[in-house]
Chains A and B, each alone.
Chain A
Amino acid sequence: MNSTALKWFGRSWMLLVYAFLFLPIFTLVAYSFNDSQLVTVWSHASLRWYKALMHDRDLIAAVMLSLKIAFLSALVSVFFGLFSAFALHRYRRFTGRGLLSSLASTPLVMPDVIVGLSLLLMLVSVQQALGYPERGLFTILLGHALLGTAYATVVVRSRLTEMDSKLEEAAMDLGCRPWQVFTLVTLPLLMPALLSAFLLTFTLSFDDVVLSSFLSGPGYSTMPMVIFSRARLGLNPSINALATVTIVVVSVVVFASTLYSLRQARQRKRDMALAQRE
């Protein structure tokens, strides 16, 4: 094969991959503006399904529940993730360190179905013994926080590993007690990692369907659960509208944050170059 042919092959291969990745999404977005009842037949453009979405109380309630659970579970995950990562990073020897280290990462590799099932079994027996907790928001939150903590631990721990340990020593040298070292130096430096851990665990919780299905009770259906159950009954085009809204929101957030961090990095590079020249 000569080089032009190779180039064209490469280009079309790339196009094929992009098509594979994004064509379904484009179709979904396009069909959300379709007037037809049927998801697969195009009639003409309209905002009909967006109006329907606004009046779909069940779906809106599910979205609100999902947002609530995602927000709370992300908070809890980051909180526990921070401390477990800090303990694992700082204290090289303590009883149960190996156990904590492997337990903290187990949910990453364990299939969600197994985690969900085992949590369900446990919660059922706890409820039988104590009469609490009723399955619902709290139990879903518990499951998501469990999974999220594992991810948050990994994110925070990797940041801690690459952080200059001399900074903490310098703080202590300048008169910080251990807790002051943590609040005045370690925590501010971990902020970016905490933020990305929050976003990650938020997303994980927001699109989880497996754990939620095991752990929810009557009246507590998250957005993915509703979409999933409706899909089985035949898709309603308002789901397309909801998906489009979600895609837009996510794209805007991702685009903005990428732009922001890119500008930060560029500014930093310019500052450093400037400082060297002076």
Chain B
Amino acid sequence: MENASKSPLANEPLLRIEGVSKIYDGHIKAVDQVTLNVASGEIFALLGGSGCGKSTLLRMLAGFETPSQGRIYLGGTDITELPAYQRPINMMFQSYALFPHLSVSDNIAFGLRRDGMAKEAIAERVEAMLKLVQLSQYAKRKPHQLSGGQQQRVALARSIAKQPKLLLLDEPLGALDKKLRVSTQIELVNIIEEVGVTCVLVTHDQEEAMTMATRMAVMSAGSFLQVGSPKAIYQQPNSRQVADFIGSVNIFDGPVKENHTNYVLVQCADALLRVPHSQPCQDGMGVGVAIRPEKMALSRKKPSAKVNHVAGVVVEMAYFGAHTSYHVKLASGKVLQVQVQSHADEDNADLCWGDQVYASWADNAMVLLTQ
């Protein structure tokens, strides 16, 4: 009885995308068979370069494009065919798309008026929204009388004023300069969490995706390469493309020499690597091994272990305060990026251009990539 009263909707994710494709001109697949669930309260990021299909997918969620195949469900209801103006979904546009002929408060009230809300209720909501984004004293201004950051906040207020079930953010910080971005990122997430709205955002900036999202998908050529938490994707990329796209990475190539149950020995040009087993592979198969620059250590002394270190010459170094970044040229000609925390190793303090060094790392710093 307990189970019967619980409708199947109880387990239904807020947003369910089922095998959605968008095909232009009969053969160009902008989005290719994408399936995704987004739970209520999540901030989900679609990350990818330009032309990867992330914007098209977002536009299909907003209702500006209709999928060629597949269905989209919101809270269990099929919204695939629903026009944009009937969806309980609102979008914050990349260039904000604020109405230039309306004041800040009229911009925010725009959507509420379409719903036929009472005048007093609208005024109240607009005031609350202005307070939320800290723009109360700018209510009467026109968009062009605001700075970029203020415009961005008006756009946010307008898109959440209708209390949508799903909020879409298209490159939310794309139009801001670098300095403003970091502070705005945090502010934006705070507001979204305060309102408690589920959110799908599109970005080409991996930092933005990682700091804002609870979960993200890396997209390429219309489909998902990997879906997971930012941490999982950073630590355990499932392909060369993902590893390369998220942060900086060093990738060694080589054939599998020995395939053991717990680890694989990979013979690279510069070293023998003992890599934890994460993906199935066979002897002799060509694989890649990814190591993040910050997981390496530099030393003048040769490490005692037989595996997981290389020798090279420092060809470039840059001091960043908290860390120092080195470029180490190996015998094979490959240039390794290494990042060393400033306080980590006093031994490195006097490393200089042209010095002979050894870079070494732990087994679990490496990820095996078979594709």
Contacts and interface: CB of A to CB of B under 8 A. Distances in A.
A96 interface: no
A268 B141 CA distance: 12
A39 interface: no
B150 A177 contact: no
A180 B97 CA distance: 17
A17 interface: no
A180 B116 CA distance: 13
B245 interface: no
A174 B144 contact: no
Contacts of B84: 169, 172-173
A175 B111 contact: yes
A167 B91 contact: no
Contacts of A185: 99
Interface string A64-83: 00000000000000000000
Interface string A144-164: 000000000000000000001
A184 B111 CA distance: 12
Interface residues of B, number: 32
Nearest to B114: A175
Nearest to A181: B85
Q: Which of B62, B91, B97, B101: most chain A Cβ within 10 A? A: B97
Contact of B114 (A167, A180, A188): A180
B62 A173 contact: yes
Interface in A184-199: 184-185, 188-189
Contacts of A274: 145
A275 B146 contact: yes
B64 interface: yes
Contact of B97 (A164, A188, A276): A164
Contact of A175 (B62, B94, B99, B115): B115
B162 A174 contact: yes
A171 interface: yes
A275 B150 contact: yes
A25 interface: no
A64 B201 CA distance: 61
B284 interface: no
A164 B93 CA distance: 12
B153 interface: no
B114 A275 contact: no
A272 B159 CA distance: 23
Contact of B91 (A164, A173, A177, A188): A173
B97 A167 contact: yes
Interface string B73-109: 0000000000111100111011101111100000000
A166 interface: yes
Contact of B93 (A166, A189, A272, A278): A166
A184 B85 CA distance: 14
Contacts of A100: none
4 closest Cβ pairs, A-B complex: A174-B111, A175-B114, A170-B97, A166-B97
A176 interface: yes
Contacts of B100: 167, 189
A58 interface: no
Q: Which of B84, B90, B95: most chain A Cβ within 10 A? A: B84
A185 B110 CA distance: 10
Contacts of A188: 101
Contacts of A174: 85, 90, 110-111, 114, 158, 162
Nearest to A268: B144
Contacts of A56: none
A185 B102 CA distance: 10
B85 A176 contact: yes
B279 interface: no
Contacts of B158: 174
Given A174-B111, A176-B114, A177-B85, A272 B144 contact: yes
15 contacts: A166-B94, A166-B95, A167-B100, A169-B64, A173-B84, A173-B85, A174-B114, A175-B86, A175-B115, A185-B99, A188-B101, A271-B145, A274-B145, A275-B144, A275-B150
Interface in B129-156: 142, 144-148, 150
Contacts of A166: 93-95, 97
A275 B91 contact: no
Q: Which of B83, B85, B95, B162: most chain A Cβ within 10 A? A: B85
Contact of B147 (A164, A173, A268, A278): A278
B249 to A, nearest CB: 35
A69 to B, nearest CB: 32
A177 B94 CA distance: 22
A175 B95 contact: no
Interface in A241-264: none
A173 B90 contact: yes
A272 B98 CA distance: 15
Interface in B109-128: 110-111, 114-115
A167 B243 CA distance: 37
B95 A164 contact: yes
A105 B62 CA distance: 37
A186 to B, nearest CB: 11
A212 B159 CA distance: 54
Given A166-B97, A173-B64, A177-B85, 12 more contacts: A167-B99, A169-B62, A169-B84, A169-B93, A172-B63, A173-B84, A173-B111, A175-B115, A176-B85, A184-B110, A185-B99, A274-B145
A263 to B, nearest CB: 15
